[in-house]
Structure 1
Amino acid sequence: MKQIFYILSFLFSFGLFAQNQMVFEKANTLYNKGQYAEAIDNYSAILETEKHSADLYFNLANAHYKLNNIAPSIYYYEKALLLNPNDADIKNNIAFARNMTIDAIDVVPDAGFSKLLNTTTNKMSFDVWAKIAVGLVFCFVVLFLVYYFAYSTLNKRIAFIGSITALILVCITLAFAFHKFNLDKKDNPAIVFAQEAKVKAEPNLRSEESFRLHEGTKVQVIGTVDNWKRIELSDGKTGWVLSEDVKLLNNL
């Protein structure tokens, strides 16, 4: 019975993939003809099947960019970058899209040890740091066994120093792994979709207005209360906006 279920699941997945590929090619044809709205409809139809890819988001962003839809174009370029962070074309196009935004927000850079720590941590993903730590644990065990069973004093000394070094590196890589995990956990970016969003000092409509943001601006969501999101800008400013005014990037 299970084999039949797996076969049916495979056939369904294959059929869905083939159908999505046809829709994707149709959308690309419409895009090349300058029918950007129709292309968007077809790209969006693929997203509704919960199939996601950097190419899909990139093409969808391009179509929105052609129609001067600032927020959606930046949003989908950002989504594409999440899946393919090193793609030069995505980086180039999102730079053009960002030039259409109104808000000019300074970036407060990290300094000193914090900058060095975050830069080093972000060079690899949490999974990579964790795999390196596991590999170093294996090295530690092997070297410790060599130390334990070796007869030569020189071999014992080399194995001992190597095992201690591996153990120290395990601790360091684990620290980087957990730091990366915490950085990723705190990273909750969103794009402002409202043409003009009023940022309040408190999460209610009667609160004093702190400042305003416009569509396409990228923010960090650092809290939620009812239908309000607490946001933080790259320059350190914080405030509350209606949840409907922003769209989270980490949600597929």
Structure 2
Amino acid sequence: MKAFFSAITMIVLLITGSAQAQQAGPQQRFDAANSLYQQSKFTEAAAAYQQLIDEGYQQKPLYFNAGNAYYKAGKTGDAVYSYEKALQLAPGDEAVKHNLSLANQKVSGYVEELPLVFFQQWWQQLQQVHKANGWAVGTVVLFWLLVAGIMLNSFLPGWKNKFLRWGNYALGTLCALYLIMAIDTYLVANNHSQGVIMHSNIKVKTAPDDNSKDAFEIQEGMKVQVADATKDYCKISLADGKTGWVSCNYIKRL
């Protein structure tokens, strides 16, 4: 009888513990994953971070810590992918760049990308001021301010009209800039033409066919540009200009 009640008690405790775990907020779960990492339980920590990511949480610290855990666990492809995602969210973060560089050193045959020129860096920084929705809202607000300014311009005479006209020019310019940035940030956020190879010793083919010749070999963690795709194959290009076809299943899109 005692054994029966002990079993019932154990089941109740397990159910209660499971319910409490489910009720734990994302910050508590993130802290728990950090604790696992500090205990050198890198595989478990990576799994905990990944669960949060799979649930839709998209923060730089989450991807960065996931990259660190994957790196320590020896999962180069997942580490590179996580750092790349963190870098998308925070392009100027030096810690992310440094750790990504360390992870890339583990990628056999890694080809370094050409650095961005200064105006590309400025544009990238400008993209981070708002997300696409923020730029879109700004566009709408500026548009209606411009409409109001144009209407006032037809009623105010003389010198007031002149200053208002220049104000409308400024509003129109800002509105156009916000519209361009809204479109650009939306396209960037939904552009999945880059990816990371998630398997080792992949034979890149000269054509999208299993029977085609091998062009070259790539390793886990290699970042690629996806230029074209069929149902099963993706045409990839590397930073050094090499191109070929691999199974799309080998690529995790950024």
The one of 198, 201, 222 equivalent to 2:206 is 201
The one of 212, 229, 232 equivalent to 2:234 is 229
Structure 1 pair 83–18 and aligned structure 2 pair: CA distance change class (3 A): farther
2:197–2:224 contact (8 Å) kept in structure 1: yes
RMSD: 3.3
1:189 Cα deviation (Å)? 1.9
What residue is the counterpart of 1:69 in the other structure?
75
Structure 1 pair 163–248 and aligned structure 2 pair: CA distance change class (3 A): same
Number of equivalenced pairs: 233
Determine the C-alpha separation between the residues in 2 that align with 1:25 and 1:118: 33
What residue is the counterpart of 1:123 in the other structure?
126
The 5 A counterparts of 1:1-252 are 16=22, 18=24, 21-47=27-53, 49-107=55-113, 116=119, 119-120=122-123, 123-124=126-127, 125-151=131-157, 153-249=158-254
Out of 211-220 and 28-37, give the one that drifted further. Answer: 28-37
Could you state the TM-score of these two structures normalised by the residue count of structure 1?
Answer: 0.74
2:91–2:125 contact (8 Å) kept in structure 1: no
Determine the C-alpha separation between the residues in 1 that align with 2:78 and 2:168: 53
Determine the C-alpha separation between the residues in 2 that align with 1:156 and 1:135: 22
Structure 1 residue matching 2:154: 3-state secondary structure: helix
1:108–1:236 contact (8 Å) kept in structure 2: no
What per-residue deviation string (whole Å, max 9, x for no partner) do you get for residues 24-47 of structure 1? 444333322222233334434445
Determine the C-alpha separation between the residues in 2 that align with 1:126 and 1:59: 26
Determine the C-alpha separation between the residues in 1 that align with 2:170 and 2:41: 61
Determine the C-alpha separation between the residues in 2 that align with 1:248 and 1:167: 37
Amino acid at match of 1:60: A
Determine the C-alpha separation between the residues in 2 that align with 1:170 and 1:23: 42
Structure 2 unaligned runs (5+)?
A: 1-19
Structure 1 unaligned runs (5+)?
A: 1-13
1:121–1:179 contact (8 Å) kept in structure 2: no
Structure 1 pair 221–144 and aligned structure 2 pair: CA distance change class (3 A): same
